[in-house]
Amino acid sequence: MPQTDAPGTGGSSGHRLRWWTELPLIALVYAAYSAGRLLARGDVSTAVDHGLALLRAEKFLHINAESPLNRLFTGNSWIGVPADFWYASLHYLVTPAVLIWLFRSRAVHYRAARAWLMISTLIGLVGFTLLPTCPPRLLAKGHGFVDTMAQYSDFGWWGGEASAPRGLGGMTNQYAAMPSLHVGWALWCGVLLWRHGRTPLTRAVAVAYPLLTTIVVMGTANHYLLDAVAGIAVMGVGLLLVRPVLGLADRVRERFGLAPVGAWQPSAVVTSHSGSAAAGAAGVGASGAGALSGSSTARRGASHAPESSIVSGECQTSTGERIPRPRKRPAESGAEPGAQSADAGDSTATAAR
């Protein structure tokens, strides 16, 4: 019998996931993400020191790709303006779109994907708290970086303070650069689109989106290359923690008497017409095995069991009526062993005559 998961089960579940419970949960995590970025401001001088340390390390390794990219973006508005729109919006549009797509079309994978995103986001908040980092655009002008969001602010809704809308720059933490969750979330989207998408276009988007996001965050001078690497590492750690975290969540649910999210749901089992014959055969085999063990019990209760009609040769008797058995006659002398008694008698008489 083929088994299918009910929509929204997140792997196969005894507790179905509902959009009206998922939406507040995701909103809560996003609120925690925003509040964490805001509260984990850190000391400005410490953030600048961390940013300069990353820049020196990249120059030493000859991987400071953000410098030439920033010059390209600031010198060509046809690249810089779309990049600013990309940075300011897609982070908050593509990620929930992929979540909704998984919930509606790939429900068995939704719960693990959601847990991966949330765990990684919380790890990123720890990084913002412990390692406040000044992005390249806020370093002194002598380092050669230009804030493209400020340069092209007339083209969009953002002001001169990160990607926040005009007048709301003070409500964001501009030193939450390490790790880059722009890159981390884009990688999450890319992996899921590649793994669960079914068309070449989906696979192309799965590759292009995280790569272009990485280029955009550096070209707009919002992140260092090492910030992007840290974002990828955070997603890797989050992925490794998905299984133990979900296992712990199921144990907590069981502890409080709630249905665990991870067991097959009886209502999710679908039986096709082609499988009904096999199911009947399996049932007959099971009943036959049970009949042997229960035969003595059946004999003991036979006198109390109601009589049923007998069907034989497409003729049905009334309840309690029996079909008479053929009468047996003793074999006469001279008859061959195993022969019917009547036949034996006839053959004997013929011989005598």
The predicted-structure confidence for 43-73, as pLDDT tens digits, reads as follows 788 899 999 999 999 999 999 999 999 999 9
Does 326 have pLDDT greater than 60?
Answer: no
Q: Is 140 exposed, middle or buried (0-12, 13-18, 19+ CB in 10 A)?
A: exposed
pLDDT in tens, 293-309: 444 444 444 444 444 44
In this prediction, residue 291 has a pLDDT band, given cuts at 50, 70 and 90, of very low
pLDDT, greater one: 235 or 343: 235
**Of the ranges 50-59, 204-213, 276-285, which one carries the lowest mean pLDDT score?**
276-285
pLDDT of amino acid 73: 97
Give SS3 for 220. coil
Q: How far apart are CA 175 and CA 161, in angstroms?
A: 11
pLDDT of amino acid 98: 94
Helix ranges (DSSP H) in the chain: 19-39, 44-61, 66-75, 77-85, 91-105, 107-130, 148-151, 181-196, 200-219, 225-255, 273-293, 295-300, 341-352
pLDDT of amino acid 165: 57
Q: How far apart are CA 215 and CA 228, in angstroms?
A: 9
Most confident among 33-47, 65-79, 242-256, 294-308 (mean pLDDT) = 65-79
In this prediction, residue 272 has a pLDDT band, given cuts at 50, 70 and 90, of very low
In this prediction, residue 273 has a pLDDT band, given cuts at 50, 70 and 90, of very low
Query: 124 Cβ partners below 8 Å, 6+ apart?
Result: 33, 179, 181, 184, 231, 234
**Of the ranges 17-21, 192-196, 226-230, which one carries the lowest mean pLDDT score?**
17-21
Does 140 have pLDDT greater than 70?
Answer: yes
Does 76 have pLDDT greater than 50?
Answer: yes
In this prediction, residue 171 has a pLDDT band, given cuts at 50, 70 and 90, of low
The torsion angles phi and psi of 23, rounded to 5 degrees, stand at: -60, -50
**Of the ranges 87-101, 280-294, 312-326, which one carries the lowest mean pLDDT score?**
280-294
pLDDT of amino acid 37: 58
Query: Which tokens is 99 given?
Result: 């979540």
Q: What is the mean pLDDT of residues 82-88?
A: 93
Q: Would you give the distance in Å from CA 339 to the centre of its chain?
A: 75
Q: What is the mean pLDDT of residues 187-192?
A: 97
Q: How far apart are CA 99 and CA 110, in angstroms?
A: 7
- H or E element, residue 316: strand 315-316
pLDDT of amino acid 156: 78
Percent of the chain whose pLDDT exceeds 90: 42
pLDDT of amino acid 2: 41
pLDDT in tens, 107-125: 888 989 999 999 999 999 8
pLDDT, greater one: 224 or 333: 224
